[in-house]
Chain A
Amino acid sequence: MDHVSTIEATKAVVTLDVPLPGIIWGWMITLNMWAKSIGTGVILVGAYLMHKHKKEDMPNLRWLMPLISFIALNVFLFFTLIDLHQPLRMVNIFLHPHWTSAITVGAWMASLFTGLIMVMTVIGFFDEFAGFRKNCSIAKTVRSKSGLYEKVFPFVVFLAFPVTMYTAIIMAQSAARELWVPGAEVIQMMLAALMVGSASLILIANDWSKEARKDLAMILAFSVMFSFLMYMGEYFFSYKAAEVEATLEYVHAGGSYFGQFWAAMVLGYIIPFFISMASMKNENRTMMKFAAVTTLVGLYLAKSTWLEIPQMIPLS
């Protein structure tokens, strides 16, 4: 009964109402956003590295980049599907699309993107393992179309941008949740993709050239720094909307998400920033891999926090 004594005498009090609906979009949507960031992030970071460095500097990138993306995108699509209360009706998005909805536009783009990534994955795999199923007709056909990889890649990179960002538009269309400001969310989605894209590639960059690894550390350092600054800006200076202020109380001192939010900031942003900055001067591969793992964990926690706290306040 402790908290009853904290009611201000002058404050109006709800004495009879229905329960709050609680978390509607929970861990599955968090996982969805997190996996999509990896799926598009490795393509965006990979494209930059391919543009800047020679193929020999990153020998496994051509086949592992689409493979990581393909796995992550399938995790994303799987959790998108099973989060639906009527998963078998997912087909309605394609049969009865409503184009004002960012969910519809996103589903179409993500499906196309995943299809193209699958093509690149198959070609990349059979090119990498030239001896695998050498006499198989399918493998022969795929190897004969090897050039398609380079033709498809520019479209994939182009498509990776809207696929990364459309979730921010869904959040913007979620008019009930004031915390999700479209401009900030679009940038946060891009930075999240660069963070986990570089983190994922750091884990496979053992045989890469030093310069390529340095670039990965640089991308990680700058993306976590800018993303952290944006979170801090919202954390400390969101005074303008009453709903945002009420929402942020959950991550401020004493709030139920305080611990999770700061764990996310330390693991996903502060630790990787200092490690990657240090590694740009004196490379330490083990520490960079540690930073990559904490980035992946931290981003999940940050996404989870930012997704759930606006769902905690009463809307009516």
Chain B
Amino acid sequence: MKLGFLVDLNLCMGCKGCEIACKVENEVPLSSWRLRVKYIDIGTFPDTSRSFTPLRCNHCENAPCERICPVSALHYLDNGIVNVDSSRCIGCAGCMMACPYGAIYMDPESNTADKCTYCAHRIETGLMPACVVACPVEANIFGDVEDETSQISRYIMAHQGNIQVRKPEKHTDPKHYYVGGGNNTLNPLAHERIEGYGLFNNITHLDTIGDPHHSILDRFLTPIFGGHHDNEGNLGFADMPNESEHGKHDAHEEGGH
């Protein structure tokens, strides 16, 4: 069995439902993403179009992140998923340097590397990944690419000649496919990216959520004396400190983050 993912970009309408479902399902902290939908505007006025590209871990068969991980925190499951064992991760960020798709992030709460696992915990119980369930147009197709009768295999066969993977020249053998993609949507160097003018370019978050640039001393002391409470990463609006308390927590500007 080799689980794979396919996104039909002709169907995706950029609703970000998958992104939110992933955040909720996996309790992904603020300022971090396992799955994101990127908007790219193409063409010149009035002949313009906007493309939406969901981006997540490619679960490569020849995964550079798995190879560079010094402690096997990143490892293959039998079904082909590249999984993360956060209890073993030492936080060296080698995987972040190795992943050609920028799909791995350092969790600011656990201080360990994390990424999309195709919702391995849901797969185990026979459920589909959260993003697949949430997609209103069934643009996300998930299944066993080694099974010729699976939906994903049939979809791939039906769209022969229009199937793409990201950065095939890296020889990572990704198990994440796109239909209807092109250079502009899949090549990050093909389009202009101007910092400061898109949404989410300058993130602010509270001290209570966990600061990725926290002090070096904290890294030693937190595991011994305890750090943030588990629920702090999921504060609802009702739980948020009021204005005066908020002032006590200096919000951090993460320029370029």
The answer to whether the Cβ of A283 comes within 8 Å of any Cβ in the partner chain is no
Instruction: Please name all residues of chain A whose beta carbon is closer than 8 Å to the beta carbon of B220 when the two chains form the complex.
Output: 87-88
The answer to whether the Cβ of B237 comes within 8 Å of any Cβ in the partner chain is no
State the CA gap A16–B40 with chains docked (Å).
7
Q: Residues of B within 8 Å of A, CB-based: how many?
A: 64
Which of A8, A22, A93, A314 sits near B189, CB closer than 8 Å? Answer: A314
Q: Are B112 and A18 in contact (CB under 8 A)?
A: no
Q: Are A21 and B100 in contact (CB under 8 A)?
A: no
State the CA gap A20–B257 with chains docked (Å).
5
The answer to whether the Cβ of A4 comes within 8 Å of any Cβ in the partner chain is yes
The 4 closest A-B pairs by CB, nearest first: A85-B91, A315-B102, A16-B39, A175-B64
Instruction: Please name all residues of chain B whose beta carbon is closer than 8 Å to the beta carbon of A22 when the two chains form the complex.
Output: 256-257
Q: Are A13 and B202 in contact (CB under 8 A)?
A: no
The answer to whether the Cβ of B70 comes within 8 Å of any Cβ in the partner chain is yes
Instruction: Please name all residues of chain B whose beta carbon is closer than 8 Å to the beta carbon of A170 when the two chains form the complex.
Output: 68, 94
Q: Are B71 and A315 in contact (CB under 8 A)?
A: no
Q: Are B254 and A176 in contact (CB under 8 A)?
A: no
Q: Are B99 and A315 in contact (CB under 8 A)?
A: yes
The answer to whether the Cβ of A52 comes within 8 Å of any Cβ in the partner chain is no
Are A98 and B97 CB-contacts (below 8 A) given A86-B90, A86-B91, A316-B188? Answer: no
Q: Are B98 and A173 in contact (CB under 8 A)?
A: yes
Instruction: Please name all residues of chain B whose beta carbon is closer than 8 Å to the beta carbon of A13 when the two chains form the complex.
Output: 40-41, 191-194
> What per-residue 1/0 map shows which CB atoms of A22-60 lie under 8 Å from chain B?
101100000000000000000000000000000000000
Q: Kindly provide the distance from the CB of B25 to the nearest chain A CB, expressed in whole angstroms.
A: 18
What are 8 A-B residue pairs whose CB atoms fall within 8 Å in the complex?
A15-B40, A17-B36, A86-B91, A87-B90, A98-B72, A101-B69, A314-B193, A316-B166
Q: Kindly provide the distance from the CB of B59 to the nearest chain A CB, expressed in whole angstroms.
A: 14
Q: Kindly provide the distance from the CB of B65 to the nearest chain A CB, expressed in whole angstroms.
A: 9
Instruction: Please name all residues of chain A whose beta carbon is closer than 8 Å to the beta carbon of B101 when the two chains form the complex.
Output: 176, 315-316
Instruction: Please name all residues of chain A whose beta carbon is closer than 8 Å to the beta carbon of B41 when the two chains form the complex.
Output: 12-13, 15
B-contacting residues, A149-191, CB 8 Å: 170, 173-177
Closest B-chain residue to A87, C-beta based? B219
Report B's interface with A, CB cutoff 8 A.
33, 36-42, 44, 50, 55, 64, 67-72, 88-94, 96-103, 105-106, 111-112, 166, 170, 172, 184, 188-195, 197-203, 216, 219-220, 223-224, 254, 256-257
Instruction: Please name all residues of chain B whose beta carbon is closer than 8 Å to the beta carbon of A3 when the two chains form the complex.
Output: 194
Are A86 and B40 CB-contacts (below 8 A) given A98-B70, A101-B94, A173-B98? Answer: no
Q: Kindly provide the distance from the CB of A32 to the nearest chain B CB, expressed in whole angstroms.
A: 11
Instruction: Please name all residues of chain B whose beta carbon is closer than 8 Å to the beta carbon of A97 when the two chains form the complex.
Output: 70-71
Are A175 and B257 CB-contacts (below 8 A) given A89-B91, A103-B70? Answer: no
